[in-house]
A = this chain, B = another copy of it.
Amino acid sequence: MFMKNCWYVAGWSSEIGADTLVARTICGKRLVFWRDESGQICALDDRCCHRGAPLSTGRKEGGTVRCMYHGFLYDATGACIEIPGQAAIPPKALVRRYAVVERHHWVWIWMGEASTADESLIPDTHWLDDPDWACTKPGRLHYDVNYQLVNDNLLDFSHLSYVHANTLGGSEEYAQLRSKIERLPRGLRITRWFMDRPPAPFVAKLLKAKGMTGNVDRWNNYDFILPGVLIMDSGFAPAGSGAERGDRENAIQFRHCQVVTPETENSCHYLFAQPRNFDKDKPDVSEALYHSILTAFEEDRAVITDQAQNLAADPLFEPVACGLDSALGQFRWLIAQQIKQEMAADAGAPRAEVVGERSAKFG
């Protein structure tokens, strides 16, 4: 069960070449992506309407795609425009198309009705291709777990002290902090300041090279947008230099962009990149940061995959909630409400009523 009326990141722009057909499963739907002759990306169900063969193993013919089982030809809207040996095309001969928007190196897809896609809801990730920021190369991991377990992880940074003790984390005191959590129209805002401590392992060398050898103030402030987009303002500044009041002259700053996109109920895509405002012309810094975060994200994947196997082994397990879980509890509730609302709308129930219910609880 997934939200439909929202934007998911399907992949990196660079994955979809001019001549390629790319197969990818999103929210349980097998999709094919390609570029039409103007370079626009289109996405269709990856299944010929005739006998169900995939289109992604077919033949791209300019801006159209031919199924290479019996030769049905489709345009970028999903309409079948040719059936070998048959003049009339039945009206049902089409495959579903999805709204797609390419923005700042990411390919966004709206899994609901294409006509209802609302581009204004695409979160801003302009740092990914902003010349004022330097970015790590495109990152991607595949998880064999339900995407909400990855969301859970990203919604509570106290795990940095344990999962990432030797990479992103550091002192166990970091885990003792409680983040400030605020509601956004479509998500949560999480603010976490960790003042006057030694820096995290992954930036220690970078800071030293800049002459910052003492304690630092550290922040991890992010918006987590439904159903799985994290955009984070984070950084390190000399302790007491006023970064929390906006004085960031001597700080190093990042704008992490990360997305969790469901593949199936039991797997998901995880894409990430880390723009920064320093050492912009140093590819070796990009490379070193990329490997630092990849190493850390592999640490996450290991523990989350183990967790998922434990949960699968005993569906009756009831977790014991604690203070750490506030953000993840709220976020799971928001997703559940959104799905409930979409199902009610599909069933013809008055939409306003459901929205009212939500407002009452989170107002």
Contact = CB atoms under 8 A, between A and B. Distances in A.
Contact of A175 (B46, B70, B177): B70
A172 B307 contact: no
A246 interface: no
A310 B49 contact: no
Interface stretch (A50-58, A215-223, A267-275): A50-58
A322 B50 contact: yes
B158 A85 contact: yes
Interface in A37-70: 46-47, 49-54, 57, 66-70
A201 interface: no
A156 interface: yes
A9 interface: no
Contacts of A320: 49-50, 90, 92-93
Interface string A66-84: 1111110000000000011
B324 A52 contact: no
Contact of A71 (B51, B158, B177): B158
B310 A46 contact: yes
B177 A85 contact: yes
Among A67, A84, A177, A311, max chain B CB count under 10 A is at A84
Contact of A313 (B30, B159, B310, B324): B30
Given A68-B163, A71-B175, A93 B322 contact: yes
Nearest to A49: B320
Contact of A86 (B90, B152, B322): B322
Given A70-B158, A158-B85, A53 B172 contact: no
A86 B178 CA distance: 10
A115 interface: no
A306 interface: yes
Interface residues of A, number: 51
A303 B66 CA distance: 13
Nearest to A324: B70
A161 interface: yes
Interface string A179-196: 000000000000000000
A278 B319 CA distance: 55
Interface in A81-112: 83-86, 90, 92-93
A52 B310 contact: yes
B71 A319 contact: no
Given A71-B175, A92-B320, A30 B310 contact: yes
Contact of A47 (B70, B92, B161, B310): B310
A176 B322 CA distance: 65
Contacts of A70: 156, 158-159, 162, 175, 324
A85 B90 CA distance: 64
A85 B161 CA distance: 12
Q: Which 4 A-B pairs have the closest CB atoms?
A: A85-B176, A84-B175, A49-B320, A53-B307
